Amino acid sequence: MTKEARIPVMRCSGCNALAIPPQYVCRQCSGTSLVADELGTSGEIYTHTTIRVAPAELKDQAPYRIAVVTIEGGLRVTARLSGNPESPIQIGQKVVFEKVDEQGYWFCAE
């Protein structure tokens, strides 16, 4: 049984605000005591687009989707959406975190 992927974040020890790593100063209280934490696995699409003309290093992956996903605490991350880039998708649609790698965060539709 594999461990469920969780969203990596930084949490301020002073005010409990969340931030996307790497983060060294809290944007809420200017505190410098941030610790690594993890959130659940769900999010919601805030906006999205399909990349059809990709940069040279990603042209073999086109078309692919990029979305801004709202996660717990109101944080928004730019992420890749896995799956068929031609399948319907809507703002407000629920998505599930898959992983984070050198290309960034990855989510898939629920």
Angle CA 72–38–27, to nearest 5 = 65
51: pLDDT strictly greater than 50: yes
pLDDT for res 21: 84
| Span 5-49, pLDDT tens digits | 788 899 999 999 999 888 899 999 999 999 999 888 899 999 999
Q: Is 98 exposed, middle or buried (0-12, 13-18, 19+ CB in 10 A)?
A: middle
Closest CA to 108 of 99, 76, 38: 99
In whole angstroms, give the CA distance from residue 74 to residue 28. Answer: 13
Average pLDDT over every residue of 44-58: 95
